[in-house]
Amino acid sequence: MNPMRIAFIGLGQMGTPMVRHLLAADCQVSGFDLSSALIEQLTGPSNFKASKSARDAASGASLCILMLPNSDAVENVLWDADGGIAAGLTPDQTIIDMGSSDPFRSQSNAQRLAAQGVKFVDAPVSGGVKRALDATLSIMIGGNEDTVRQVFPVLELMGKYLTHLGGPGAGHAVKALNNYVSASGLVATCEALTAAKAFGLDPQAVNQVFNTSSGKNNTTEVKVEKFMLSGAYDSGFSLGLMRKDVKTALDFIQNLQTPGVMAAACLEVWADAEQGLPKGADHTAMHQFLQKSE
């Protein structure tokens, strides 16, 4: 049995498959989520402990991985006066924030944790549920050299393309920018396919041309046929989370006072779609939304 004890907080679409890889590598995992049903579905292996609270999960764990929706949830888990884990952390412990959090807020979390001797690494991921299941995620890492070296073997259990980009917050910065690029490509693709259809063209044929031409992108290659034209709209990444990521990128750009006209327009489209689609809609339903508003 791998002696490493890992707390894992946030057992949603991504967290659950990631925990399964840690369990398969014989790590001892104490898991917690606000949803007890999600904790239950992981119970069974003797190296998984179902925890009653985030504090319970973090107690005695050398690493504490957070796979939460956003920085609000991260700060709640860390600093909440009534149950936040930071109060009980000791200098031998490391927090790894693997969700797509706000880079400036992550820097502040890193500083506050450092003040009590606790280490922090941001290690957000890209690749979606499919690559979480395959353990082939791309992982963008921020943190100091020594700490990153220490946690690297654990991250390798969940991902295949690991890049250490800089100090705390660097991983979250690149993740937000990556998702802005991905989100704008998705909107452009859906707008193009909607116009093509209105012109009487077959969207599938058009997308195939994109895929052998310069319009090719992650949406045309991975999402159009499988999740959009099929009508499935079930990639496992919610539209609300994508809207959050574009907002994080726009805030980041505005904070740095670099050009962001396109990012602002992109956020508007995602916010409109979130308003216009049912709560919890998948991000690929942007296609459905734009077709309806045609």
Q: Which of 119, 130, 160, 175 is catalytic?
A: 175
With CB under 6 A as the contact rule, the residue among 17, 99, 203, 260 that binds ligand NAD is 99
11/148 with CB nearer ligand NAD: 11
Q: How far apart are CA 291 and CA 276, in angstroms?
A: 12
Q: How far apart are CA 163 and CA 140, in angstroms?
A: 5
Decide if residue 240 touches ligand NAD (CB under 6 A).
Answer: no
Q: Which stretch binds ligand NAD (CB under 6 A): 122-130, 195-203, 218-226, 272-280?
A: 122-130
If residue 159 lies in a helix (H) or strand (E), which one and from where to where? strand 159-166
**Measured from the CB of residue 88, what is the shortest distance to ligand NAD in angstroms?**
15
Decide if residue 35 touches ligand NAD (CB under 6 A).
Answer: yes
User: How many H helices and E strands in the chain?
Assistant: 13, 9
Q: How far apart are CA 35 and CA 139, in angstroms?
A: 26
Q: How far apart are CA 7 and CA 166, in angstroms?
A: 25
Residues 194-213 that bind ligand NAD (CB under 6 A): none
Neighbours of 100 (CB within 10 A): 28
2/108 with CB nearer ligand NAD: 108
Residues 11-30 that bind ligand NAD (CB under 6 A): 11-15
With CB under 6 A as the contact rule, the residue among 19, 22, 29, 54 that binds ligand NAD is 54
Q: How far apart are CA 32 and CA 88, in angstroms?
A: 16
For the question of residue 175 being annotated catalytic, the response is yes
Q: How far apart are CA 212 and CA 176, in angstroms?
A: 28
Q: Which of the residues are catalytic?
A: 175
Site for ligand NAD, rule CB under 6 A:
9-15, 32-35, 38, 54, 67-70, 73, 76-77, 99-100, 125-126, 128-129, 236-237, 241, 245
